[in-house]
Amino acid sequence: MIWNCLGLEGALDDAGIGYEPSPFSKRLAVDKKTDYKVVEFDKTYKGDKKVLMICTEERYMQMENGKKFSSGNHPVEACHPMMHLVNAGFDFDVATPTGKPVCIEMWALPQKDQVMLDFFNKTAKPKFDAPLSLADVVTDEKKLSQYICFFPPGGHGAMLGLPEDEKMGKVLAYAKEKDLFVMSICHGPAAFLAAKQEPFLFDGYKMACFPDSVDKQTPMIGYMPGKMPWYFGEKLIERGVTIVNTGADATVAEDRKLITGASPKACQGLGVLVAQKLLEAFA
């Protein structure tokens, strides 16, 4: 009862299956307005190559205690960086492993950020609702060659399905072979674990991503209904990655063609940097 009175008890989602973050944790972790600021680039892209955003089609993470966390991709982490790329002239497609709709953490939408809401509803949501099938993309060299950057965004949903997905692994191998850009943020680098090659494709790379140490604390404020079943940072470190940040902050890391951000706070810096790098390389 005390737990509930303090606003630490999460509620079930609309489907009555998984828990969403508690009111208290939302006040701490879900901003009503982002720090998005328009950046005027010296030039814009005029070509026909695109960015491929690779999202999850799975919603529920089962915690150690058996409860299910209602997750998906974080809408700000997907949209905020992409807004800068669109402003720089780049179009984007969205794909999920089988073409099912993207699962989005709708409770994380910043309700007082009209610019972000407009981009989400008018530009991103139609693509989230009817994404490409990653299976179709990776089996067609012509389709795959349309893309110059690959982007698995964050949200705990990035840990669901993608780290084991053979098709995700093929995309990463293709990007490395063709020396293309890969960007990600927060929990998105969990998808990199799909690269099963030895040595690991990102062995020796530096990355910014959401810290396991913070994930281990979030059940205490009701953000998740229990301890997570695994921690992706530990897995990346085991495979030779150096994680450069210790907090859920605005850190952005650039290592060769890999550009990563630590948390939603890194969206502005990540999006601007990737847009600039793509313009330098392709405009």
Q: Do 202 and 208 meet the contact criterion of CB atoms below 8 Å apart?
A: no
How far is it, in rounded angstroms, from Cα 222 to Cα 25? 6
Where does the pLDDT of residue 5 fall: very low under 50, low under 70, confident under 90, or very high at 90 and above? very low
Q: At a CB cut-off of 8 Å and minimum separation 6, what does 55 contact?
A: 73, 78, 94, 95, 96, 102, 103, 128, 131, 152, 153, 157
Checking if the pLDDT of 3 tops 60, the result is no
**pLDDT of amino acid 100:** 98
8-62 per-position pLDDT tens digit: 789 999 999 999 999 999 999 999 999 999 999 999 999 999 999 999 999 999 9
In the predicted structure, residue 2 carries a pLDDT above the cut 70: no
Residue 267: the pLDDT is 98
Which of 42, 27, 131 is CA-nearest to residue 78?
Answer: 131
Could you report the per-residue pLDDT of 130-184, keeping only the tens digit for each? 999 999 999 999 999 999 999 999 999 999 999 999 999 999 999 999 999 999 9
State the average pLDDT over residues 87-101: 98
Indicate if 186 belongs to the active site. yes
Catalytic residue among 103, 149, 186, 267: 186
Task: Give the chain's mean pLDDT.
Answer: 96
User: Mind giving me the DSSP string for 38-102?
Assistant: ----SS---SS-EEEEE-----EEEPTTS-EEE--B-HHHHHHHHHHHHHTT-EEEEEESSSPPP
Mean pLDDT of 88-112: 98
At position 1, the amino acid (one-letter code) is M
Contact of 54 with 167, CB cutoff 8 Å = no
Q: What is the mean pLDDT of residues 240-260?
A: 98
Residues 269-279 pLDDT 10s: 999 999 999 99
pTM score of the predicted model: 0.96
pLDDT recorded at residue 194: 98
pLDDT of residue 7: 64
Percent of the chain with pLDDT over 90: 97
Give the C-alpha separation, 187 to 61, whole Å: 13
Residues 188, 56: Cα–Cα separation, whole Å: 10
Report the alpha-carbon distance of residue 119 to residue 266 in Å, rounded: 18
Round to whole Å and give the CA distance between 147 and 245. Answer: 29
- How far CA 132 is from CA of 89, 106, 234, in Å, comes to 21, 21, 31
The answer, yes or no, to whether residue 4 has pLDDT greater than 60, is no
User: Residue 9 is encoded by which pair of tokens?
Assistant: 């008890």
What pLDDT score was predicted for residue 9?
A: 84
CATH number of this structure's domain 40-282: 3.40.50.880
Mean pLDDT value of segment 191-195: 98
CA–CA dist 169, 19 (Å, integer)? 30
Contacting residues for 227 by C-beta, under 8 A, at least 6 apart:
63, 64, 65, 216, 219
Residue 222 CA to residue 27 CA, distance in Å, equals 11
Residues forming beta bridges with residue 62, ordered by sequence position: 68
pLDDT band for 195, please (50, 70, 90 cuts). Answer: very high
Average pLDDT over residues 103-113: 97
CA–CA separation, 182 and 179 (whole Å): 9
- Taking phi over 0 as left and psi of -120 to 50 as alpha, with beta for the rest, 132 belongs to beta
